[in-house]
Amino acid sequence: MSVFSQDRTFKQPINWTTTLFMLLFHVGAIAALFMFTWKAFALAVVLYGCSGCLGIGMGYHRLLTHRGYKTPRWMEYFLTVCGTLALEGGPIAWVATHRIHHQNTDKEGDPHSPQDGGLWAHIGWIITGKAMHQNTAELLPFVPDLRKHKFYLWISKYHWVPIAALAVITLAAGGLSCMMWAVFLRTVVGLHSTWLVNSATHMWGSRRFITGDTSTNSFWVAILTFGEGWHNNHHAAPQAARHGLAWYEVDVNWYGIATLRMLGLAWDIKLSKLSPVPSHAHKGPNTSLLLPPSVIDADAMTSTIASGD
């Protein structure tokens, strides 16, 4: 009980609108389990990849937040719409919150640090205060690149439209079971998977790089989030488009970006360059001998190799 009593979640007023909305989706997710069909399951899996991989991982995170690569404007907008299907808010709120997190990781001002409690980092920051109802005007200074585009201002205000349309379409085309799995169950699993990046990968796991925060690498979170679980790698080089650095670090989001590059739909891709720790550096528990890597342009590196320089 003492652990929970110290959690910031229990020291903040509950946002009942957000809390009841989240509760509704969780009840719907449980109800969906009693409506199983293979068609509904397959649809949910496809949409989980669409929202979690294309939308959150490749779109909201690695493209819009960190600008780890460039892509045609129409593709950027497509990935953004996929991101709204995750029910994690519009791009302006999501990107601004994540940029603030990197600016103040595990310090005062971090929106969801486990330093304020594990429950707070996972869901507490969502259901208390104004996390899901941020005033866009207050966030605009953190997204100067997005606020210049009317599309991002519009989709941030009406981010609920795509998932509402999805609910209507799946209900009409596939019936109640398809809608419950594609909208409720799929969304709840996706939300908790993303929230695990905020909580679990700052509490448990291994550390390859010496960073000034508690970020860790977690295989199981990486599997759930298509590669976002390699969080220590990410915090060491935030702009890098590739988070899984070793062959065994599965990073589906990176595979997607690499595929776009092969199709000529992604360029100026940023990759991390490993740097060894000096011999006098301290090696802490679960910390390997690597300093945060520098970031290089993948296209420039390819050109250099091709020219023989």
Which tens digits make up the pLDDT trace of 289-302? 345 566 666 665 44
pLDDT of 300 reads: 52
Q: pLDDT tens across 238-247, in order?
A: 999 999 999 9
For the chain, what is the mean pLDDT? 88
* Tally of domains in the chain: 1
Sorted by sequence, the CB contacts under 8 Å of residue 25 that are 6+ apart come out as 87, 184, 187, 188, 191
Domain that holds residue 57: 2-307
Please give the share of the chain, as a percent, with pLDDT higher than 70. 84
- The pair of three-digit structure tokens given for residue 265, joined into one six-digit string: 């739909």
Q: pLDDT tens-digit profile of 210-220?
A: 888 999 999 99
Most confident of 144-148, 272-276, 303-307: 144-148
C-alpha atoms less than 13 angstroms from C-alpha of 309 in its C-beta half-sphere: 6
Q: What pLDDT sits at residue 281? A: 41
